[in-house]
Chain A
Amino acid sequence: MLYSEKVMDHFEHPRNVGSIPDADGVGQVGNPKCGDIMKMYLKIDGNNVITDVKFQTFGCGSAIATSSMATEMIKGRTVDEAMGLTNAAVAEALDGLPAYKMHCSVLAEEAIKAALADWYAKKGEPVPECCKLPCDGDEHGCCSCG
């Protein structure tokens, strides 16, 4: 098998698929040229707790599985905790990914950060450094560009 059982489980039965029309933060990363796009929707309450999260993904098996796993890992957590989620932690929670699929887990981490950045921006607050993507404000067209 190319993927672990956990990856296949999240791919075949993805958790938290869909959109949140009145989301407090929405982030999209990836570009169609690279074949991976992830969009994250967050509901965040007054205590900075992520009460709901949904995702939409265009991409391969590991892109869908990492999106799904990442949503599970931040649901019910605080914004600070979500900001600390690393791609390595997502990949590890899935019992690993093939080396050339690790960029999918990077996208999952970045999609969450992009959604958090949107939440800060909507509140009119400065976006923390760690939520900024490497390609923010840049048109260089890498596979993380939203």
Chain B
Amino acid sequence: MTNRIYADHAATAALSHTALRAMEPYFTQKYGNPSSLYGFGQQAKADLEKARADLAACLNARPEEIYFTSGGTEADNWALKGAVELMALKGKKTGHIITSAIEHHAVLHTAQYLEKQGYSVTYLPVDGHGRVDPAAVEAAIRPDTLLISIMAANNEIGTIQPVAEIGAVARAHKILFHTDAVQAVGHIPVDVQAWNADLLSLSGHKFGGPRGMGALYVKKPLRLPPLIHGGGQEKGRRSGTENVAGAVGMAAALKEAVARLPEESARLSALRDRLIAGLATLPYTRLTGHPTHRLPGIASFVFEGVEGEALLLHLDAKGICASSGSACSSASLDPSHVLLAIGLPHAIAHGSLRLSLGPDNTEADVDAILKAVPQVVEYLRAMSPVWDAQAQKPTWEL
């Protein structure tokens, strides 16, 4: 389709031209193995380290604190499993983890796995806007709490957490603090010092870098036991022949995103706010997530009397790519855990839509979305047995 409108940047996005150009030489020209002793390999090593330093600078971290991974999922897995293993090495073979009910599955399912290994986990509730209360984090701390893991920004509803406050609580209680910043990095200012983060996950493809490339920030002098064992790359912490092209591309993309952040986030916020103003005002429709503490590119809604997958398919037919947390848009039978955690009844959570904007979106895209979504919602409501067309309201009492 020629005039496709891509509004699913929180899922993944195009590689930026800057990243593509930066990566190109590493496939057929500068393909040396950074672990090799000859100059050809050592040049690749130098470039890898330059990428590490560039990436670190974007997070206010030191280069030695950045470990490249295969993406956000691996970084999250390593953070949680590595942190508890580190504590086990220090003699705490079991203990307690605090996280939230709205984490990405990369954290949630890892926490559930650790529960099976004998750890106890508190999944903190969130308020109606999807925010974790730092006081609730503090109240959940037990003498055996080993780790606090709270995401920086949510991928479905865009809510930004009070990360610095939560980090301060963790610091005050000398508990390790991890934050899944996959949706935050490159989109809002991220500062590992200000956030008091000990561990921070990021993923390249969420900010114009390549897919299958991520990083974990590990605060010095923490020595996180490896998740991936092998040839001893990344100072023995993360084995596997280095993906130099990936690291260089990810660093180039992030450098550019951070340089453009003030301007681009203002531009995206304005587009997002037009979507919110135009759609959240439809009858029996609400914005999900926080009205102000939200990612610049994410506008998310629920429409009563409409099912999300049907909405997405009709939008697709009109050339618009978006996503939904409805059960029917995935293989599971429940709507998204995030929408349920913010207190939406199942019936309403089924009618969710997430529009996530990025660098390629324009005012014209927003115009087209503002025209298409109300049409589709109206059409689906008209054929819905739970929508009263006369009264223009749902027939259900929830």
Q: List the interface of chain A (C-beta within 8 A of B).
A: 8, 11-12, 14, 17-18, 28, 32-39, 56-64, 100-101, 143
B206 in the interface, Cβ–Cβ < 8 Å? no
Per DSSP, chain B at the interface is loop
Per DSSP, chain A at the interface is mixed
Identify 28 residue pairs between A and B in the complex whose beta-carbon atoms are under 8 Å apart, listed by A's number: A8-B313, A12-B313, A12-B314, A12-B317, A32-B346, A32-B350, A32-B386, A32-B396, A32-B398, A33-B346, A33-B347, A34-B327, A35-B327, A35-B347, A35-B350, A36-B328, A37-B386, A56-B383, A56-B385, A57-B384, A57-B385, A58-B305, A60-B309, A61-B309, A61-B313, A62-B328, A63-B307, A64-B310
CB distance from B353 to the nearest CB of A (A): 14
From B39-47, B108-116, B329-337, B361-369, the one touching the partner chain is B329-337
Q: Most A CB atoms within 10 A — which of B314, B317, B331, B385?
A: B385
What is the bound-complex CA distance between A14 and B385, given in angstroms?
15
Q: Mark B369-398, 1 if CB is under 8 A from A, else 0.
A: 000000000000001111100000000101
B326 in the interface, Cβ–Cβ < 8 Å? yes
B383 cross-chain contacts in A, Cβ below 8 A: 14, 17-18, 56-57, 64
A28 cross-chain contacts in B, Cβ below 8 A: 385
What is the bound-complex CA distance between A143 and B310, given in angstroms?
18
* Contact call B347/A61, Cβ cutoff below 8 A: no
A60-B307 contact given A35-B326, A100-B331, CB 8 Å threshold:
yes
Given contacts A32-B398, A60-B309, 12 further A-B contacts (CB under 8 A): A12-B317, A34-B333, A35-B327, A35-B328, A35-B346, A37-B384, A58-B305, A59-B307, A60-B326, A61-B310, A62-B328, A100-B331
* Contact call B317/A59, Cβ cutoff below 8 A: no
* Contact call A37/B385, Cβ cutoff below 8 A: yes
CB distance from B203 to the nearest CB of A (A): 25
Q: Most A CB atoms within 10 A — which of B310, B345, B387, B398?
A: B310
Q: Mark B272-313, 1 if CB is under 8 A from A, else 0.
A: 000000000000000000000000000000000111111001
* Contact call A32/B347, Cβ cutoff below 8 A: yes
* Contact call B313/A11, Cβ cutoff below 8 A: yes
What is the bound-complex CA distance between A57 and B309, given in angstroms?
13
**Chain A residue, CB-CB nearest to B306:** A58
B347 cross-chain contacts in A, Cβ below 8 A: 32-33, 35
CB distance from B6 to the nearest CB of A (A): 18
What is the bound-complex CA distance between A12 and B305, given in angstroms?
18
Q: Most A CB atoms within 10 A — which of B328, B331, B396?
A: B328
* Contact call B386/A58, Cβ cutoff below 8 A: yes
CB distance from A72 to the nearest CB of B (A): 16
What is the bound-complex CA distance between A57 and B380, given in angstroms?
9
